[in-house]
Amino acid sequence: MSEAFNAFEMVQKQFDAIADKLDLNEAARDFLRNPLREYHFLIPVKMDDGSTKVFKGFRIQHNDALGPAKGGVRFHPLETVDLVRALAMWMTWKTSVVDLPLGGGYGGVICDPHHLSMREQEMICRGWVRQLGDNIGPLRDIPAPDIMTYSQHMLWILDEYETMHGRKYPGMITGKPVGMGGSLGRTESTGYGLMFTVREALREMGIRPDTTTASFQGFGNVAQHAIKLYNQLGGKVVSVSCWDQKTHSANAFTKPDGINLDELLKISDRFGSIDIEKAMDLGYEILPGDKWIEMECDILIPAALENQITMENVDKIHPRVKIIAEGANGPTSPEADEVIKKRNIFMLPDFLCNAGGVTCSYFEQVQSNMNYYWSKDEVLSKLDVKLTTAYHKVSELARKKKLYMRDAAYMIAIDKVVRASKERGWI
Ligand code: GLU
């Protein structure tokens, strides 16, 4: 990530451009270009070696006009308050564009789980929720997993919250383990949701998925499940890239006939890092750096971190690429976005394309609140309906008004939140 990159400035810039297009008044702009509430706090943790370490934690609620705030909790050493602000704002647009009765929030802790034991991570989770007290909860703000947080972390947070409040609140958090209030299909949901939108885009373009190829950046939960569904649709993945913890570098793994998901899953760790030597034994070619973006393919899928397609590499995108599907939040810089727009590459913007996770989180919350759970097929078919409907709403507006897909998605999402804030008499 370049030092100059600030995700919050980027998301504000994107908001300002749409605010002009929607001709929003000053109050609406002031109200929506900044978060409604922010919590910053310290979490002291007794480490396994007997020392005490102090971690910095956040929860930021950008907007809750449409319903309780909703969004992930990220554990990452490069977490910053501005990144959390940006992610909280994106969550507001994400829940709005897929028509969920939820607002947007985000949180996190500056830490690196690669160097923390499970007990230490548990203490961070419990410390995080203790600091938030009543400021989160099923009717207020509902956290979920994000980068380097998983169902186990969600359960620790829930357990501490329930202990604090002396009652059971299964709808207080989502992404819980199945059997402990989690929803079937939640693990697959972000990757599957991404592929539902790609499938619809291909259908509108008159292209059969089984004639296409794709290159992925990232091999975490989102990419793994998107690849699974893409393969089922007949698509071939020409390369996946991931971060190598040992060499501190990114590498793309390629095979002429396409990568094999099952064999790569067997040789990757829980953070989605593929073992280089074992991959070489299996006949993979390893290409260092950001080669994933240069691959000759039809679909590019950045599914790792923010600010990955920039002015430094956007010109390397192969002329064959027809679709970019943003699995990550904020993977494209605004300048690179302009280049993509001019090149007429079809953009599936992050807050639409990766909204499958929060949509399934919403289904999980509904199930948890009822304490009655649906089958996996029921969850995934409801997910398909939600994502496909949202995709077509955005694509129809884009076609009608000759807009870039990102702008069309923003217009729908922002307009809805502005209207809700007005109807409540806030602005
Ligand atoms: N962290 C995921 C996202 O960025 C899921 C959020 C949620 O389920 O609330 O969309």
Three-class DSSP labels, 177-224:
CECCCECCCHHHHHHHHHHHHHHHHHHHHCCCHHHCEEEEECCCHHHH
Q: How far is the CA of 283 from the centre of ligand 1 (A)?
A: 35
Share of the chain above pLDDT 70, in %: 99
* Topology annotation, domain 189-348: Rossmann fold (3.40.50)
Residue 3 has pLDDT above 80, yes or no: no
As a whole number of angstroms, the distance between CA 330 and CA 311 comes to 14
Q: What share of the chain is helix, strand, coil (3-state, %, to 5)?
A: 50, 20, 35
Position 2 confidence tier, pLDDT thresholds 50, 70, 90: very low
- The overall longest dimension of the chain from CA atoms, in Å, is 64
Q: How far is the CA of 72 from the centre of ligand 1 (A)?
A: 5
pLDDT for the residue numbered 76? 96
Inter-residue contact 330 to 10 (CB < 8 Å): yes
Using CB distances shorter than 6 Å, the residues near ligand 1 are 70-72, 144, 146, 174, 329, 354, 357-358, 361
HSE value, Cβ hemisphere, 13 Å, CA-based, for 316: 14
For ligand 1, atom 4, name the residue with the nearest CA.
72
HSE value, Cβ hemisphere, 13 Å, CA-based, for 157: 32
Summarize pLDDT for 201-231 with one digit per residue, the tens.
999 999 999 999 999 999 999 999 999 999 9
Pocket test for ligand 1, best of 96, 358, 379 (most atoms within 8 A of CB): 358
pLDDT for the residue numbered 260? 97
Atom of ligand 1 minimally distant from the CA of 147 = 1
Q: What is the overall mean pLDDT for the chain?
A: 96
Summarize pLDDT for 16-41 with one digit per residue, the tens.
999 999 999 999 999 999 999 999 99
Question: How far is Cα of residue 221 from the mean position of the Cα atoms in its chain?
Answer: 10
Position 196 confidence tier, pLDDT thresholds 50, 70, 90: very high
Residue spans in the chain of domains classed CATH 3.40.50.720: 189-348
pLDDT for the residue numbered 192? 98
Residue spans in the chain of domains classed CATH 3.40.50.10860: 34-169
pLDDT for the residue numbered 108? 96
* Topology annotation, domain 34-169: Rossmann fold (3.40.50)
Atom of ligand 1 minimally distant from the CA of 329 = 4
Summarize pLDDT for 295-343 with one digit per residue, the tens.
999 999 999 989 999 999 999 999 999 999 999 999 999 999 999 999 9
Q: How far is the CA of 362 from the centre of ligand 1 (A)?
A: 10
Position 264 confidence tier, pLDDT thresholds 50, 70, 90: very high
Q: Are strands 141-145 and 69-76 parallel, antiparallel or unpaired?
A: parallel
Summarize pLDDT for 350-380 with one digit per residue, the tens.
999 999 999 999 999 999 999 999 999 999 9
Position 248 confidence tier, pLDDT thresholds 50, 70, 90: confident
Q: What is residue 268's DSSP assignment? A: B
Nearest to 331 by CA among 195, 217, 244: 217
pLDDT for the residue numbered 1? 43
Q: How far is the CA of 120 from the centre of ligand 1 (A)?
A: 24
Mean pLDDT in residue range 100-121: 97
Mean pLDDT in residue range 110-136: 97
pLDDT for the residue numbered 409? 98
Q: Residue 190's beta-bridge partner residues?
A: none
Position 151 confidence tier, pLDDT thresholds 50, 70, 90: very high
Position 247 confidence tier, pLDDT thresholds 50, 70, 90: confident
Summarize pLDDT for 385-403 with one digit per residue, the tens.
999 999 999 999 999 999 9
Inter-residue contact 101 to 137 (CB < 8 Å): no
Q: How far is the CA of 344 from the centre of ligand 1 (A)?
A: 29
Share of the chain above pLDDT 90, in %: 95
Atom of ligand 1 minimally distant from the CA of 362 = 8
As a whole number of angstroms, the distance between CA 383 and CA 404 comes to 25
Q: How far is the CA of 244 from the centre of ligand 1 (A)?
A: 25
Q: Buried (b) or exposed (e) across 310-338, using 16+ Cβ within 10 A?
A: beebbeebeeebbbbbbbbbbbbbeebbe
Q: Taking the model in full, what pTM does it have?
A: 0.95
Summarize pLDDT for 334-348 with one digit per residue, the tens.
999 999 999 999 999
